[in-house]
Amino acid sequence: MNTQNTTRNVLVTGGSGGIGRAVAKRLAADGHAVAVHYAGNRAKADALVTEITDAGGRALSVGADIADEHAVAALFDEVEASLGGIDVVVNTAGVMVLAPVVEYDLEVFDRLMRTNVRGTFVVSQQAARRVRAGGAIVNFSTTVTRTQFPTYGPYVASKAAVEALTLILARELRGKDITVNAVAPGPTATPLFLEGKTEEQIAELSKAAPLERLGEPEDIAETVAFLAGPARWVNGQILFTNGGLA
């Protein structure tokens, strides 16, 4: 595959949410065809697809429980049938529920792990089988694997698992001409991040990075666009996209 100025077919999981939405819009603007995945909010995914197509892009919405291997296989079938193949898979779908380890609800823990670990694994497994040569798999971690903020224990544990999976899958795909990397955002102004935080906490986090602001979803999307397109010599890496926080 010609890796310069090449449009690709992309599946973005969690594509109707904060970072996923920005990623889908950026990749569509770059000329790629984008499948916008949703888990429960089809209306948001459909609205994004309409926004992309109205701007001259190519997109479709697709639904599935990413932790259900049968649903994910069917999802990949649908995207392949609609777009003619898959070149890039971006795993932005995730759950974040914060609380100290000592009082963390185990049912919430299981739900978080099911989405963040099993979901990423199931999608990555299908991606490893389906992504065409010259393509890319992009998973999502978090900068908190380095900053180790209190109350993030289960979430960080899930993302540490994602990092390990990403690094090993990159080595397992030797000879396939498929890159596998993860993006680890810092504090980013999305509903997932802002929920449950006080104005004082948000202000403090805004000043934590040397650039003294929260990241925007578009900042993260820029890194994904690099990995999804021209970054053919970046492989088996965790890219910390956090304004210098850690």
Q: Which residues are catalytic?
A: 155
| Among candidate residues 101, 94, 105, 246, the one with its CA nearest the CA of residue 161 | 94
Distance CA 95, CA 158 (A): 10
Helices (H), 30-68: 42-54
21 contacts 45 by C-beta, under 8 angstroms: no
- The set of residues, in sequence order, having a beta carbon less than 8 Å from that of 114 and lying 6+ positions away, is 67
Say how many Å lie between the first and final Cα of the chain, rounded.
35
Q: Is the dihedral of CA 239, 134, 33, 85 positive or negative?
A: negative
- DSSP reduced 3-state for 156: helix
CA atoms within 13 A on the CB side of 10: 35
